[in-house]
Structure 1
Amino acid sequence: MLLDQRLLRRLFHLGALATRGMTLGVRGVAVDAEGRVGLVRHTYISGWHLPGGGVERGETAVEAMIREFREEAEIVADAPPRLIGLYRNAAAAPRDHVALFVLPSFTVLRPKAPDREIAACAFFPLDALPEGTTRATRARLREVRKGLPPDPNW
């Protein structure tokens, strides 16, 4: 199963490189009033991640982030997402970049039902992230919580 996930992920990124050259993705931090962060678990890759995805042709990074929050977590922005940093994600592909946003105010429309892309979506206390939360997700949350400068690499 893990090998299949790695192969699918690699094929996706190779396809993106072939059609786009440089890739740009977005990830977002949404912390609710109780101090819990929204995380998603994908069907095609292991671990808990910040909601996000690729910026589509003709779309701004902010528009992509708003769309991804809605698609992956049923989160609707009540205020514009704030850009925190731009990272190079060499683990995904040599020319992949990720823009990280924080959503200062939002509404959760309903619990996210699993679908073809998202296996699970939930909110977790920042000091008690679930097992399987990725290294990059933990690092980005640490930067945001502590006001640290962004690491240039995802």
Structure 2
Amino acid sequence: KVTFPLIGDIDVTGKTVTEFTRQLEASLAEYLVRPQVSVNIVKLGTTRVYVLGEVKKPGLYELEKSHRVLDALGKAEGFTEKAAKKKIFLIRKGAEEPVLVNINNFLKKSDQSQNYVLNEGDCLYLTSNGKIDIVRDIMPFISGAYMVSEIKNND
């Protein structure tokens, strides 16, 4: 809503700049002779969304301009190696069931339907793919066990 002197509140939901300008001019015409109005958008509103789970920087983000899944993932600096790109949950504010997002289809097949528009308060949750990386997950334990074994053998 936009509040303007003499006119009061004007609902601008879903209106183009031209439509809003015409409505403002028509409303002002009751008080002024042939009003000429110029409307400029300085800044679009932001949408606050949560990006949690297997992303590099989980948290609350404000998205400007475009409010899509990829914009939110970009703000969170992308997904981790453990992210299940086929199983991302979009939890909509007020919805009973989450939407399953397969960002892999977008990345590999350019499936635009997976790049959903996000609304205020939505949450993207990236699950883990459950894969084990031998070097990262197993080798530190083997190295630690080897070191303990060496220390015991040298006593």
Normalising by structure 1, we get a TM-score of 0.30
Q: Which has the higher relative contact order, 1 or 2, with Cα contacts under 8 A spaced 6 or more apart?
A: 1
